[in-house]
Structure 1
Amino acid sequence: MQFILRAIEYWSSAKYFSLRLWDSFKSIRPPRTFVGWTYVAIITIAIITRLWDLSGRSLHYDEILHAWYSWMYSQGMGYSHTPLTHGPFLFHGGAASFFVFGSNDFTARFLPALFGIFLIGMPYFLRNEIGKYGAIFASIYLLISPSFLYFSRFMRNDIYMAVWALALIIIMIKYQRSPRFSLLFAWAIIWALAYSTKESAFLLAGTIGLILIFQTSKALWQWIKGNRFLSDIGPSGDLLIVLGTCSLPLWAPIAGTIQSALGVILVNPDPNDPRVIAGEIIRSNAVTGAPVGGSLYIAAFIFLVLLILSVAIGLLWDRKRWPILAGSFAFIWLILFTSFFTNWQGLFTGVWGSLGYWIAQQAVERASQPWYYYLLGLMVYESLAIVLATIGSIYLLLKHRTNFNLIIIFWAAMTLILFTIAGEKMPWLLTGITLPLVIVSGIVIDKLMHQAMSLYMRVRIYLVWLLLFIASPIIILYVILPSKPFSVEIYYIGILIGVIALIYSVVLIFQWKNATNNWPSLYSALPILAISFICVWAFGIGASSVRASYSYDNMEKPRELLVYSQTGQETSYAAKCLNRIKLMSEDDIRILVDESDNFAWQWRWYLRDFNNVDYRPLNQGPIKELPEYQIIMMSKASENNHVNSLGAYRRTGELHHLWWFPNYAYEQLTLPKILDGAVSSQGWQTIYDYQVRREMGSSMQRSNGIIYIADQLTDDVTSCTKRQ
């Protein structure tokens, strides 16, 4: 009874807090400062860039998986969590979007786009720590970042995880400065959402947990010795205990990493594990990542021990607050993993399967990417962030070792290290790596912007250096590249811009001398030089971002490293064509879709509103009942089997139903090769060809398909696979 009364008391305080938030929201007025209006402009551009032509690109291979099961959930067919597709938050969010707005490519990506918009504004809440200029830079960089723009217009979990990660950092910093229950409550809720979104939450929890352990090590040691109460462990200790006790039972499958020494199978290996193939370890005919046989009881015992330990530590810390915080965490986690209590198997797949499955995947190394894959991705898309963060971290560690700076640098370094160690490497994980790099870069930019000089003189000098940095690449590229990238006229224009900038810089140097009675020093000029260079560099980052996310040429012939396995753009063109035919036809259309060569994958989503669709493999010989169908879609590899049966059909187009970026284009890179390329014109030509033209020596891998339409339906159809 006492627990219920306490719960009512705390939930009442939460309701009071939410009412205060609503009152604060109603009292919002137009901004009165430069920073405020800058953020209004940034968020406005963010809304446009995230929602503009959101459905233009065909859904990616993985997006179709997520959209399909979310749509089934929204149609009342239920949802069952499986670790293969990560956490249930994405499917609940996707189903909600489809239920409210209808199902299409736009609504599939609508919630990720909203999260992408929100993420861009979040550095504002760290402006006191980063600095106002640093916060603005961080938001602008998140706005123009190729990986963030691309994957905030993408139905995957990673943009959600970026929001949760930055929100947790913000809450941690705010709570350490001013402990409030509302912040601790938000801390528990967001951790529940993070664990329900993707298993990378375990890496994030490990990183933040280490930070909090370092900060509270002295207090923890005093508690262990009996010289301090656990309730008096300090703000960082509060955060650590809530994180640790709420999530500790979810870490139980980590015992599977030592199962060989124990002689049990707590985490069933994946069938593609090289050790299983070589016969070095045994795999049971059970679910990957699950305990096998009697090990199930050992797994249950480990979980219960960790659960009891969590409850004991939590109650020892605070008998009043901990039940509310842990209960809120458990409630959100439980309703998502059990699909609002309709799938109780989700209790097991969430508690053991989530981490267990991905421990089993570690040795498989799906996608077979080299260890430097993320470094390559960062240099192609986020070079400004990685260079600024690397140089800036050294500077901050030497000159500005504040608590906040140390936290962000550690977060950035650990994220890159852990993701590099992880067996599976995918392009969408660049968002999690880039985010802390952007925050570090923002801190560095703020230091550069606060150099001692009037704003008027600073802007004029920035203009000079901008002109120089625009002219320099034109001149350098024309001189060093064997294949001239542009005409000689452009080269001369670059020289002219450079000469004008140099003349104007001489004028400014004398103006500086007259204003300050001192000649400008190299120390005072370096920040201006750096900011100008960064502005030009950021322009290039933005151009790369626009090309990756909006270019239809890029969609139809993808050449981006951000692509792992992309559905062909012609798929969405064909889907629109088939829907037009459906509207024009009086009778229900029968469609046959080839299941061979993975051709049917995307059509389950794009043909979800068609009633008569049959799926069968067409690569095993002719099918006699072809005339029963008005539309036949098949892999090109199956076409020869049916040439004699397609006389009553017209070929209305070919499509690339799947693209892959070729790993062999970069998997043989070595340090000697990189150094050799850095001092040769051909090496720079290769960099220029890909960075600027997106041309590479290796072709994208692809699978092709064909669409046949019955003659009686083709009067108004010329092609189904071209952009209309």
Structure 2
Amino acid sequence: MEKAAFFSDKIKKIFTFERVFLLIFLVAIILRFWHLDLKLFHHDEAIHSWFSFTLLTKGTWVYDPSYHGPFLYYVTAGMFSLFGASDLVARLLPALFGTMLIPLVYCIHRLGYITKTQTLVVALFLAISPDMVYFSRFLRHDIFMLFFTMLLLVALLYYFERGQLRYVIIAALAAGGALCCKEEMPFILLIFISFFGFAIWRKRISLPPQWKNDLIIGVLIIIGVMVALYSAFGMHPETLIGQNFQINTTGWYQAVDHWVSMSDEQRLGGPFYFYIPLYLLYEVPIFLLAIVGTLQFIATDASLILAGKRLKNWLTTKRFALSTADLAATSLNQLKTAKSGSEKSDLFFQLCIYWMILTMAFYGYVGEKVPWLIIHQLLPMCFVAVYKLNWQKVAFALIGCLFLALMTWHVAFIPADINEPIVQVQNSEDLRTVMGIIDNSSNVVLASQDYWPLPWYYRGDLWDKFTFYGQKEDIATLTAEHPDTIILHDTESYDSIPGYSKQTYKLDYWFSYYDNENRLPDYYFHRDGTMGSINLDLFTLQH
């Protein structure tokens, strides 16, 4: 027994809270930065990198709501200027911003909103979540916006605790940065404003005496950040004031008009429960624990209300030596004393549940449904999942992490085309063969309306070898210069071209529900089956 106790004490001394947290942080770093260019760019990544490269080389960028806000383009162009333009460099900042979510969890713990165990479990969920890892290795605006959202929350919590201007400045920079990422950020701000506004009104949160001055400073910082970036540092003031001062040509009007029309059109639509199957595919333990946590919170809140009513009835129907008023005051004081240790925690988890439910409802309602939007719902869900954490829930979470780790390895570190909804429209690994053929060609004819990411991979002078047609042309036109390689879309192609051999390759691919709907249980466990794809026919000159 003494040896067992000694061994147990030794383990506790070695695996302290801080050391375990740092270990989780190290895991997050490895999962986000290791072999960061393992997979070819996604279609959107290639476009974002191309715009960033153009911004760097030509100094041109104008806001277009189709491609979201300016933050990504400026910081990626900055990385290209420092380290050169490549897939790896383009993904460095998404990986960094995704990694820095973990230390922000520790900041929330330091304020006393979550326990050590809750902190470790949330950090572990964020570190190895398939969606969090995958979209931290992915050049899109969402991971930047998610980091700024988390930073904003932490800064607000610190401000409510300490009332210092520095936290207002951090919160304002975070809000301004997030608003320069994506057009749905105002909705996230509305969630925070409504929750904290109500909490202040109910006196659950107190503001420092100088809060009005701090608010003015914060708003001015947000406006300054947005004005600088959206106007391209003054190069395009029409984004802010419109052409000829017409409101319907300003950037904010274009953003609302564009994304409302996209939502109504449902170009990439789906049912309101679109994201639920994705949770069941990739985030099962987090999703189930969040459901349990939400039900526990509702049950606890309901039981407190019921207990309060019973206490009131009891006090009004019984006689005591102590007056009813004194007894009620004494009972309330005891209740406040018992609750003081958990009041901050309850407030925080109430926020997370409110945040989670509203984001799930919002993204379920919006007509444009794509897999990367899940991370905005997943962040508060990770916190809700650790509400009232006991040893049974910890055990379930740790076992569930094996599933998360397996799925993360599958979606992020398998160098092959995978039949998974998370990839949306991913460029195929077949393109490596295609680009090998192009590299060995001195002149290439490209006659297809589908050709991205080739402009990115053959940027600059490398594009000089291409003769580009945006559609199918007759054979005489295609072969006029005797190109080494001719590239056509397979649905707008020829059975053969004299003097050329033909081979078909996938350009990009996606999970096809319609090809797998009759075998969903089998698909869930095997993750195989037919995929949708856009294909290219390559005709190579026979020597």
Q: Rate the CA distance shift 1:686–1:329 in 2: closer, same or farther, 3 A.
A: closer
- Report if aligned partners of 2:33, 2:95 keep a CA contact under 8 Å in 1: yes
Q: Could you tell me how far 1:184 is from its partner in structure 2?
A: 0.9
Structure 1 residue 218, shift from structure 2 partner: 5.5
Check conservation: 2:153, 2:171, Cα contact below 8 A.
no
Shift of 1:608: 1.1
Letter matched to residue 533 of structure 2:
R
- Give, in angstroms, the shift of residue 238 of structure 1: 8.2
Q: For residue 235 of structure 1, what is the amino acid of its counterpart?
A: L
Q: State whether structure 2 residue 401 is matched by structure 1 residue 538.
A: yes
Q: Distance in 2 between matches of 1:567 and 1:187?
A: 37
Q: What is the SS of the residue equivalent to 2:537?
A: strand
8 Å contact from structure 1 (residues 212, 237) kept in 2: no
Find the counterpart in structure 2 of residue 331 from structure 1: 224
The reply to whether residue 448 of structure 1 matches residue 419 of structure 2 is: no
Look up the equivalent residue of 1:658 and give its one-letter code: D
Match of 1:363 in 2: 264
Shift of 1:432: 0.6
Structure 1 SS opposite 2:493: helix
CA distance in 2, matches of 1:574, 1:100: 30
Which residue pairs with 1:92 in the alignment?
Answer: 74
What is the aligned partner in structure 2 of residue 190 from structure 1?
174
The residue type equivalent to 1:425 in the other structure is K
Equivalent in the alignment of 2:490: 636
Cα 1:623–1:604 change in 2 (3 A) is farther
Cα RMSD after superposing both structures: 2.7
Aligned identity (percent) is 22
Distance 2:511 2:15 in 1: 46
Secondary structure of the corresponding residue to residue 705 of structure 1: strand
2:419 aligned with 1:559: yes
Unaligned runs of 5+ in 1: 1-30, 220-232, 240-316, 450-526, 583-588, 669-682, 713-724
Aligned to 2:33: 51
- Say yes or no: does 1:604 pair with 2:467: no
CA 1:623/1:68 → structure 2, altered by over 3 Å: closer, same or farther?
farther
2:235 to 342, 349, 366: 342
The answer for the alignment partner of 1:6 in structure 2 is: none
Partner in structure 2 of residue 704 of structure 1: 535
Rate the CA distance shift 1:590–1:622 in 2: closer, same or farther, 3 A. Answer: same
Aligned to 2:183: 199
Partner of 1:432: 376
- Within 5 Å, give how 1:516-595 maps onto structure 2: 527=392, 530-552=393-415, 555-556=416-417, 558-576=418-436, 578-579=438-439, 581=440, 589-595=442-448
Q: From the superposition, tell whether residues 548 and 663 of structure 1 become closer, same or farther in structure 2 (CA, over 3 Å).
A: same
Letter aligned with residue 621 of structure 1: D
SS in 1 for 2:168: helix
Give yes or no for the alignment of 1:180 onto 2:164.
yes
Cα 1:578–1:371 shift into 2, 3 Å: same
1:417 aligned partner: 361
Structure 1 pair 43/407, CA: closer, same or farther in 2 (3 Å)? same
Aligned to 1:11: none
Are the counterparts in 2 of residues 655 and 704 from structure 1 also a CA contact under 8 Å?
Answer: yes
Tell me the secondary structure at the aligned position of residue 538 of structure 2: strand
Compared CA separation, residues 442 and 623, structure 1 to 2 (3 A) = farther
In the other structure, the counterpart of 2:6 is none
Whether contact under 8 Å (1:46, 1:143) holds in the other structure is yes
Report the Cα distance in structure 1 between the residues aligned to 2:209 and 2:537, rounded to whole angstroms. 61
Unpaired runs of 5+ residues, structure 2, are 1-12, 243-249, 301-341
Comparing 175-184 with 361-370, greater Cα deviation is found at 361-370
- Measured in 1, the distance between the counterparts of 2:24 and 2:126 equals 10
Matched, 1:153 2:137: yes
- Structure 2 CA distance, aligned partners of 1:237 and 1:197? 33
What one-letter code is carried by the residue in structure 1 that aligns with 2:368?
Answer: E
Question: How many Å separate the matches in 2 of 1:636 and 1:79?
Answer: 34
The structural deviation recorded for 1:101 is 1.3
Separation (CA, whole Å) in 2 of partners of 1:532 and 1:442: 12
Q: Within 2, Cα distance between the matches of 1:665 and 1:430?
A: 24
**Pairwise CA distance, 1:234:** 4.3
CA distance in 2, matches of 1:237, 1:370: 48
Opposite residue 549 of structure 1, the aligned amino acid is A
User: Residues 214-247 of structure 1: CA distance to partner in whole angstroms, max 9, x if unpaired?
Assistant: 123368xxxxxxxxxxxxx9429988xxxxxxxx
CA contact 2:40–2:428 (8 Å) conserved in 1? yes
CA distance in structure 1 between the aligned counterparts of 2:514 and 2:125, rounded to whole angstroms: 31
Letter of the 1:172 counterpart = L
Inter-partner Cα distance in structure 1 for 2:354 and 2:77: 37
SS at match of 2:494: helix
Counterpart contact for 1:361–1:423, Cα < 8 Å: yes
Q: Quickly say closer, same or farther: Cα 1:623–1:109, change in 2 above 3 A.
A: farther
